[in-house]
Amino acid sequence: MQQVEIYKPKNKIRFVTAASLFDGHDATINIMRRILQSSGAEVIHLGHNRSVDEVVNCAIQEDVQGIAMTSYQGGHIEYFKYMYDLLQERGSGHIKIFAGGGGVILPTEIEELESYGISKIYSPDDGRKMGLQGMINDMLIKTDFVTKAEITDELKTIPNKEITAIAGAITVAENDPEGAQEFVNELKKLSLNNNAPILGITGTGGAGKSSLVDELVRRFLVEVPDKTLAIISVDPSKRKTGGALLGDRIRMNAINNQRVYMRSLATRQANLALSKNVQESIDICKAAGYDLIIVETSGIGQSDTEITEHCDVSLYVMTPEFGAATQLEKIDMLDFADLVAINKFDKRGALDALRDVRKQYKRNHNIFDAKDEEIPVYGTMASQFNDPGMNNLFVALMDKIRVKTGTDFKAKMELTSDQSEKIYIIPPDRIRYLAEIAESSQMYNEWVNKQVGIARKMYQLKGVIDLAVENESLGLGSGLENAYTFFEEQLDGDCKRLLRQWPDTKRA
């Protein structure tokens, strides 16, 4: 097949990608979203088993041009029609829906869905004719438009937490900062009426920041039932293609709540952990009246402290695997972070890491007389439900926000002396239990084959001995009996008993 040229969009295109509810895997949508990214699109990926409500909420909050789905579970007619209806109902009918389901979606069903309003259902025939890049180009061409070209009455509706207004305002500020300058200035004035604290969360790539944010959000929603929060999550843009994987939502299980707004931003610049429009996004969320704003950066290096310029309280997230203790002296955020979380605390050497980071924090902040328990460094396991380390971190964060900003969320959770400890489904000393089962079966089979071989030789010798007894002139008896005894001694006791009982078993 002739190589298809990648379509170059005129506008920044954003997509939500996911596999539908009850779908077993997201292998196909992963392929498509990777090609979307390499074609310059910013992709908010939700993974698999996502409901219509989750996908539509995400699409509206993220102000995307398109939704791309795979559906192999057979309920595609109801699923996609409901998605289309929900978008229309929530005033976001401009968002295009694209889907594929291989041979599961019949040609007649494709025709029905497309006539209903679904932008395109790609069939296996489309794949053969257009190729993967051809299908992606088709999606990009159909979504190459501006979702929000100008500001109209957003200043009136944003303070009411109108999601489409908030999302549209962030888009305009991001896509046309010069044209939106007057609006941004007005919003900044409006945001001054809200003293919502800003929590900045940063750390190395792969430290589990998104999972940790999700756990903090879950605790906030439970402990502070009357407050709202906004999350601004930043991921890096690819320097080569301009595309980006905005994948933090895939770890967020607690955000599908009316009290939570989340917006994913691409840096749209190289070698920086934040988008240049992150402050405008913060101001918009403050103007909307959110009570707490969380800003999560993309993965940073040792010298990056950019987040401290935008937040009231900063949290640095790392793992126990930072190398030698001297590496800690190079991490700038340990000078500036109000709190430090050593996530993935189930890793080998975690307690040593906790000790070393606390020592370095003492040196950096000149608090040598402080006890270890007083140092704001916490071991956490964000992947584990109700982790004591996460509970302690949440309490410490709420307290630090109260001290530094004067905002008291009155969370009821209290500090405990409990430490993060991994709860295992399979104990570590039995981690090889499947291999042990296989090895045990293999050893048993080898033993059986060996016993069968011995018994066979004994049977053969017995036949020769009987023949020798009948023909005494051959003179073979004593040597054969010694050989028979030799093999009999190697036979297992239970096997001997079974052989002795065999004649009776046959007669029975």
Q: Does residue 177 sit in the same domain as residue 137? A: no
Other Cβ atoms closer than 10 A to 452: 11
Asked if residue 1 belongs to a domain, the reply is: no
DSSP character string of 138-194: HHHHHT-S-S--S-SSHHHHGGGT-HHHHHHHHHHHHH-TTTTHHHHHHHHHHHTT-
Q: Does residue 391 sit in the same domain as residue 498? A: no
pLDDT at site 104: 94
pLDDT at position 355 over 70 = yes
Asked if residue 130 belongs to a domain, the reply is: yes
pLDDT at site 116: 98
pLDDT at site 472: 66
Percent of the chain with pLDDT over 90: 66
With contact defined as beta carbons under 8 Å apart, do 500 and 458 qualify? no
Amino acid identity at 392: N
Confidence of residue 269 (pLDDT cuts 50, 70, 90): confident
In 3D, which of 337, 321, 327, 426 has the Cα closest to residue 377? 337
- CATH number of the domain to which 44 belongs: 3.40.50.280
Asked if residue 352 belongs to a domain, the reply is: yes
Q: Is the dihedral of CA 487, 488, 490, 491 positive or negative?
A: positive
pLDDT at position 97 over 90 = yes
Q: Could you tell me the residue range of the domain that residue 110 belongs to?
A: 14-142
Angle, nearest 10°, between helix axes 52-62 and 76-89? 40
Amino acid identity at 24: G
With contact defined as beta carbons under 8 Å apart, do 137 and 102 qualify? no
DSSP character string of 227-273: --EEEEEEEPPPTTT--EEE-GGGG-SS--STTEEEEEEE--STT-S
Q: Does residue 202 sit in the same domain as residue 279? A: yes
Average pLDDT of the residues in 3-30: 92
Asked if residue 333 belongs to a domain, the reply is: yes
Q: Does residue 278 sit in the same domain as residue 215? A: yes
pLDDT at position 32 over 60 = yes
Name the 3-class secondary structure at 315: strand
- b or e along 85-116 (b: 16 or more beta carbons within 10 Å of the residue's beta carbon)? ebbeeeebeebbbbbbbeeebeeebbebbeee
Average pLDDT of the residues in 263-279: 88
Name the 3-class secondary structure at 384: coil
Q: Whole-model pTM?
A: 0.83
pLDDT at position 234 over 80 = yes
DSSP character string of 33-58: HHHHHHTT-EEEE--SSB-HHHHHHH
243: left (phi over 0), alpha (psi -120 to 50) or beta: beta
Q: Does residue 135 sit in the same domain as residue 227? A: no
Total structural domains in the chain? 3
pLDDT at site 436: 87
Angle, nearest 10°, between helix axes 76-89 and 107-116? 10
Name the 3-class secondary structure at 201: strand
Of 90, 113, 142, the one marking the end of a domain is 142
Q: Does residue 64 sit in the same domain as residue 168? A: no
Q: Does residue 124 sit in the same domain as residue 239? A: no
pLDDT at site 475: 59
pLDDT at position 98 over 90 = yes
Query: What is the tens place of the pLDDT at every residue in 288-309?
Result: 999 999 999 988 888 888 999 9
pLDDT at position 478 over 70 = no
Alpha carbon 458 to its chain centroid, in Å, reads 62
For the chain, what's the residue count?
508
Query: What is the tens place of the pLDDT at every residue in 436-457?
Result: 899 999 999 999 999 999 889 8
Structural element, H or E, at residue 400: helix 388-405
pLDDT at site 415: 64
pLDDT at site 70: 96
With contact defined as beta carbons under 8 Å apart, do 273 and 267 qualify? yes
Q: Does residue 191 sit in the same domain as residue 137? A: no
In 3D, which of 80, 289, 54 has the Cα closest to residue 165? 289
Query: What is the tens place of the pLDDT at every residue in 122-164?
Result: 999 999 999 999 999 999 999 999 987 667 677 788 989 999 9
Would you give the DSSP letter of residue 495?
Answer: H
Q: Among 71-85, 227-241, 375-389, 484-498, which stretch is predicted with the lowest mean pLDDT?
A: 484-498
Average pLDDT of the residues in 176-205: 89
